[in-house]
Structure formats: C-alpha cells, structure tokens
C-alpha cells in the first residue's frame, strides 16, 4: 500500500515538474535548472535573430551538464542549439536546410 501511495505522489510531482517532457525519472531527483526555458529561448534568439522556436526539450544528462535542446526555424534553415542549463553557454549550434517536402519519409 505504501509503494502505491509513493508512486502516485511521485507521479503527480512528475506531471507538475515536467509538462509533457522527457526524463521523468530524473526530474523527480534533479534540482531545477538555473537557466529557465524562457531564458534559454532568449539566448537562442540572440544566436538566430528572427527565428521561431519549433522544438524545446530539457535533457538531463546524468554526470554531464544538463542542457536545453532548442530547434529554431528561420526561412529554409533549421538551427539546432544546445544551451548549458547551469551557465547559459551555447555548447552546440548547427544549421541545416529544412525539408519542406519531407521526401525522406519512412513510408517506403
């Protein structure tokens, strides 16, 4: 009975802390990142002015620094950035052409 109660309480905490997010188990034991999602988005927009955010994920990496993974779209370019969740430093900034036709689908 106690295990069930703990699971329900932990599950409610995960839903509260991670709104549709990835690493639910890590979210219950890890402290909140120093850099918020909003701050990470501001940092990303400074790197790629005029872009819109197409994806935002928090990646808890265990022994390595936690990062915000942000995908930005500007015109026909897709920018993938990783921002250190403790310092706000951009650790990755890659650009590729966005596929508008999605010809590489796995429906074959």
Query: The domain that contains 81 carries what CATH number?
Result: 3.10.450.40
Same domain? 26 vs 67: no
pLDDT number for residue 3: 42
Same domain? 3 vs 43: no
* CB 40 within 8 Å of CB 56: yes
pLDDT number for residue 46: 95
Phi, psi dihedrals of residue 24, rounded to the nearest 5°: -65, -40
Same domain? 63 vs 51: yes
pLDDT digits (tens, 9 = 90+) for 29-88: 567 789 999 999 999 999 999 999 999 999 987 888 899 999 999 999 999 999 999 999
Report if residue 67 sits inside a domain: yes
Strand partners, 93: 81
* CB 76 within 8 Å of CB 98: yes
Same domain? 75 vs 39: yes
Provide the domain count of the chain. Answer: 2
Report if residue 107 sits inside a domain: no
Report if residue 103 sits inside a domain: no
Residues 6+ apart with CB under 8 A from 98: 73, 76, 77, 78
pLDDT band for position 104 (cuts 50, 70, 90): low
Pairing of strands 52-59, 77-84: unpaired
Domain range for 20 is 1-30
Report if residue 72 sits inside a domain: yes
* CB 78 within 8 Å of CB 103: no
Q: What's the predicted TM-score (pTM) here?
A: 0.61
Report if residue 24 sits inside a domain: yes
Distance (Å, rounded) from C-alpha 92 to C-alpha 103? 27
Same domain? 25 vs 41: no
Phi, psi dihedrals of residue 41, rounded to the nearest 5°: -65, -40
């Amino acid at each position: 009975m106690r295990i069930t109660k703990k699971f329900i309480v932990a599950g409610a905490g995960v839903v509260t802390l991670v709104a549709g997010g990835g690493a639910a188990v890590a979210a219950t034991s890890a402290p909140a990142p120093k850099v918020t999602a909003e701050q990470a988005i501001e940092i990303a927009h400074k790197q790629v002015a005029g872009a819109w955010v197409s994806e935002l994920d928090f990646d808890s990496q265990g022994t390595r620094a936690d990062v915000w993974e942000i995908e930005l779209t500007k015109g026909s370019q897709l920018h993938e950035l990783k921002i250190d969740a403790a310092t706000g430093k951009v650790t990755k900034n890659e650009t590729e052409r966005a596929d508008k036709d999605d010809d590489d689908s796995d429906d074959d």
